Amino acid sequence: DTAVSQTPKYLVTQMGNDKSIKCEQNLGHDTMYWYKQDSKKFLKIMFSYNNKELIINETVPNRFSPKSPDKAHLNLHINSLELGDSAVYFCASRQRNEQFFGPGTRLTVL
Amino acid sequence: QKEVEQDPGPLSVPEGAIVSLNCTYSNSAFQYFMWYRQYSRKGPELLMYTYSSGNKEDGRFTAQVDKSSKYISLFIRDSQPSDSATYLCAVTQGGSEKLVFGKGTKLTVNP
């Protein structure tokens, strides 16, 4: 019954590795997002997709590449992980002006 | 100037207290105002949503928007320990525009 789900919940990896986070929503929404929440709890948008099309890219390094195979899924691939990428990444979907967040993926880069 | 300013706290109150949480924003184009509640190690969940100026009440929670002063507030009456969480204000112009969040205020309600 989970509306917005993410996998994995926790991700611990070494600097320089490549990793992916997956997101799925079963709400039938057209728009999905990726947010990054840093250690000070500041939540900042990274990307937004509408019906598989990229509509917002907030000056995120090229190492981050979102992919939307269909409108229910929005995955995030990160190349050459850096220490500063350690954060909690949240996926969200939108209906009108309300956004619904997933449980988050806590990424730790060692 | 940041788009949305929010005092991060932390704020600690006794059970039963009235809590007031506030944000200011800089862009007068923002039309939609939200409050999200985030429990520790969970995703944010939408608590209150208002459009334009005015008040909106939902149980113990009241959201207030004053567009003339670009000020938004959330009041919690009869606060409970279960209200302990981080509260984030968010604003948007609407449509496909992005949500801009405040930094969040961490609230602890002590029994």
For B57-72, how does the pLDDT look when each residue is reduced to its tens digit (9 = 90+)?
A: 999 999 999 999 999 9
For A100, the closest chain B residue by CA position comes to B45
Does B1 have pLDDT greater than 70?
no
Angle among Cα B4, B27, B103 to the nearest 5 degrees reads 5
Chain B contacts in chain A segment 20-39 (CB below 8 A)? 31
Closest chain B residue to the Cα of A89, Cα to Cα: B43
Best mutation site among B36, B38, B48 for testing chain A: the one with the most A CBs within 10 Å? B38
Residues in chain B whose Cβ is within 8 Å of chain A: 8, 32, 34, 36, 38, 41-46, 49, 51, 86, 88, 92, 94, 96, 98-101, 103-104, 106
| pLDDT < 50 regions, chain A | none
Average pLDDT of the residues in B88-92: 94
Contact B36, B47 (CB under 8 A): yes
Per-residue model confidence (pLDDT) at position A56:
84
| pLDDT exceeds 90 at position B86 | yes
Question: What value does the mean pLDDT of chain A take?
Answer: 92
Q: How far is the CA of B109 from the CAs of A17, B7, B85, in angstroms?
A: 42, 17, 9
- Taking only the tens place, the pLDDT of each residue in B11-51 is 999 999 999 999 999 999 898 999 999 999 999 999 998 98
Q: What one-character DSSP code corresponds to residue A82?
A: -
Q: What is the pLDDT of residue A1?
A: 62
Q: Which of B95 and B99 is assigned the larger pLDDT?
A: B99
Q: What letters, b where the CB count within 10 A reaches 16 and e where it falls short, cover A66-100?
A: bebeebbbbbbebeebeeebbbbbbbbbbeebebb
- Binned at pLDDT 50, 70 and 90, residue B87 comes out as very high
pLDDT at B96 over 70: no
Residues of A in contact with B46 (CB under 8 A): 98-100
User: A49 to each of A29, A93, A101, A102, B15, how far by Cα in Å?
Assistant: 11, 9, 15, 16, 42
Q: What is the pLDDT at residue A60?
A: 87
**Which residues from chain B sit within 8 angstroms of residue A44, using beta carbons?**
101
Per-residue pLDDT at B109 exceeds 70: yes
